[in-house]
Amino acid sequence: MSPYRDYNPHHARDNHLLSIKELRDYCLHMPLSFREALNGAMSASGLSMRKLAEKAGVSYEQLKKINQGKTQSTNAEDALRIAAALGISLESFMAGEFERTPTISIAGKVGAGASVPVFDAYAKGDGPQAICPPGLSPSGVVAVEVEGDSMEPVYSAGDLLFYSRNGHDSVPSDVIGHRCVCEDDEGMGWVKQVKAGDEPGLFHLISLNPGANNIWNTRLKWAARVRLHWPSDLARRL
């Protein structure tokens, strides 16, 4: 049974009727411990513990101690601040009711000058994940990480590129002249500007870095246009 009259502690809290002691007591009656709620919040938001602490204005060191089991403090004040930073109620935070952040599977690395074996090593959804960029639907979209510098200054090592394949191996005519993620017939993955080769079925893979090599008259299994580019310092991985 809730220790609060009218069984609505959140309503009471919002009207400043709860003391700190009552707030701690309230947290003790919730389904999750603060530690469990904290880990759920980090998983759902995609934020690291340090970033979440900064966003909520709470002590990172205190959160770390709680997460490591070095203190048993309920830390109700921090729970309240974290819930507010996530835009949810204290009840939702302590009950583990978070809106899941959409993610996109990272298939692996793709060569920008570096030779990288075929990167579709994971079944969709089974590999590492990246937070879905705003404005991009995660449906049917895959991400790859750039390795090498042949596409500098546009794409740098560590950047994430997002693309969609059309469901079968091909090089659609509408990708010609565009920056693409592609796989050659030797199983190597590349990010290059794809141009028509000297004969049907052959393609030139053009680097943007003037000092990098191009690949001439190669066969491709498939190519897909880059839909979105996220620099490494903005990309959020899980």
Asked if the model's pLDDT at residue 46 lies above 80, the reply is no
User: pLDDT higher for 178 or 41?
Assistant: 178
What residue ranges do the domains of the chain occupy?
5-95, 103-230
Under a CB-based contact definition with an 8 Å cutoff, are residues 230 and 187 in contact?
A: no
Q: What is the mean pLDDT of the chain?
A: 80
Look at residue 125 in the predicted model and tell me its pLDDT.
46
Under a CB-based contact definition with an 8 Å cutoff, are residues 28 and 74 in contact?
A: yes
0.75 surpassed by pTM = no
Look at residue 191 in the predicted model and tell me its pLDDT.
93
Q: Which of 4-13, 88-97, 215-224 has the lowest mean pLDDT?
A: 4-13
User: pLDDT higher for 136 or 192?
Assistant: 192
At residue 192 the predicted structure's pLDDT band, cuts being 50, 70 and 90, is very high
**5-95 belongs to CATH 3.40.50.300:** no
pLDDT of 215-230, one tens digit each?
Answer: 999 999 999 999 999 9
Q: How many other CB atoms sit within 10 Å of the CB of residue 18?
A: 20
Look at residue 71 in the predicted model and tell me its pLDDT.
74
Under a CB-based contact definition with an 8 Å cutoff, are residues 142 and 165 in contact?
A: yes
Look at residue 107 in the predicted model and tell me its pLDDT.
83
pLDDT of 16-31, one tens digit each?
Answer: 344 445 555 555 566 6
CATH superfamily, domain at 103-230:
Umud Fragment, subunit A (2.10.109.10)
